[in-house]
């Protein structure tokens, strides 16, 4: 792996005249775990969606694992970057196992036997191996989100992006998904997670980033971030969610 898992230099993103990302400079080291937080509309989800070009940028540069993110390289980059969304985005007409083996077979051209072996291993890792032959509608929201995590892992990505993965869940289901993510973090996976779960940030993050109005306003290790916030907007934000 290259020196940096992700490098963003001078990244700007517009929606018509709305400036969604403002001069973003960010480097992420291999194995680093970053949590991005901020008020609604601050650019958090847009930022991580640019890392695999789900959102195109208007200026700047993004390099993922040494590969510049361009139209020509986007497929190559996406193979190394797993993403878990707010909504589970599972195919309802496919079983859990079928959801997990589709991408490795199509994109990485692995055999069905190998894909199934990998899928069952990751379903076990997210603690739902017994659900392999069920359909998404037969699972709880927390179970569906864990399937979504397993499905992303089946591509064996170097980097995982999480876009508010617990926001669509009932409160009692949040912990099971966060526990799964904590397990991944402990194994050294490079992770960027957009979330309002500040206990998760305290427990897992190497660095917490606060965004406001499309810009990175403050970033620090959790102890400093929560214990000694410098920016007035961050102080207000932390006061509201405490």
pLDDT for res 242:
63
* 142 and 163 Cβ atoms separated by less than 8 Å: no
**SS3 for 25?**
strand
* 38 and 241 Cβ atoms separated by less than 8 Å: no
User: How large is the angle between the packed helices 96-107 and 112-125, nearest 10 degrees?
Assistant: 130
Nearest to 90 by CA among 82, 105, 108, 102: 102
Torsion angle, alpha carbons of 64, 50, 191, 183, to 10? -130
Query: What is the pLDDT tens value at each position of the chain, 242 positions in all?
Result: 458 999 999 999 999 999 999 999 999 999 999 999 999 999 999 999 999 999 999 999 999 999 999 988 998 898 889 999 998 899 999 999 999 999 999 989 999 999 999 999 999 999 999 999 999 999 999 999 999 999 999 999 999 999 999 998 988 889 889 999 999 888 888 999 999 999 999 999 999 999 999 999 999 999 999 999 999 999 999 998 86
pTM given for the model: 0.93
Nearest to 152 by CA among 122, 185, 176: 122
* 233 and 217 Cβ atoms separated by less than 8 Å: yes
Quote the DSSP letter at residue 130.
G
Strands of the sheet with 33-37, listed across from one edge: 81-84, 159-163, 190-194, 33-37, 207-212, 215-220
Residue 13 to residues 4, 18, 55, 57, 60, Cα–Cα distance (Å): 22, 9, 8, 5, 9
Residues 44, 126: Cα–Cα separation, whole Å? 26
Q: Pick 6-241's CATH classification: 3.30.750.24, 1.10.150.120, 1.10.510.10, 3.40.50.300.
A: 3.40.50.300
């Amino acid at each position: 792996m290259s020196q940096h898992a992700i490098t963003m230099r001078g990244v700007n993103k517009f929606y018509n005249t709305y400036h969604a990302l403002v001069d973003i400079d960010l480097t992420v080291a291999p194995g680093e775990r970053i949590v991005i937080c901020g008020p609604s509309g601050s650019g958090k989800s847009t930022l991580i969606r640019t890392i695999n070009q789900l959102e195109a940028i208007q200026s700047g540069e993004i390099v993922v694992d040494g590969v510049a993110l361009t139209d020509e390289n986007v497929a190559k980059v996406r193979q190394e970057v797993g993403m878990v969304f707010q909504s589970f985005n599972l195919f309802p007409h496919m079983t859990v196992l079928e959801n997990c083996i589709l991408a490795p077979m199509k994109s990485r051209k692995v055999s069905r036997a190998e894909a199934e072996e990998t899928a069952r291993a990751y379903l076990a890792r997210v603690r739902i191996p017994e659900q392999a032959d069920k359909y998404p509608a037969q699972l709880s929201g927390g179970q569906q989100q864990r399937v979504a995590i397993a499905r992303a892992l089946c591509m064996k990505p170097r980097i995982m992006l999480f876009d508010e993965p617990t926001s669509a869940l009932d409160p009692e289901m949040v912990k099971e998904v966060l526990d799964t993510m904590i397990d991944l973090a402990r194994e050294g996976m490079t992770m960027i997670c957009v979330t309002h779960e500040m206990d998760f940030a305290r427990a897992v993050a190497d660095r917490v980033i606060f965004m406001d109005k499309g810009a990175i306003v403050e970033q620090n290790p959790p102890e400093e971030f929560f214990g000694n916030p410098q920016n007035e907007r961050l102080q207000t934000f932390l006061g509201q969610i405490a």
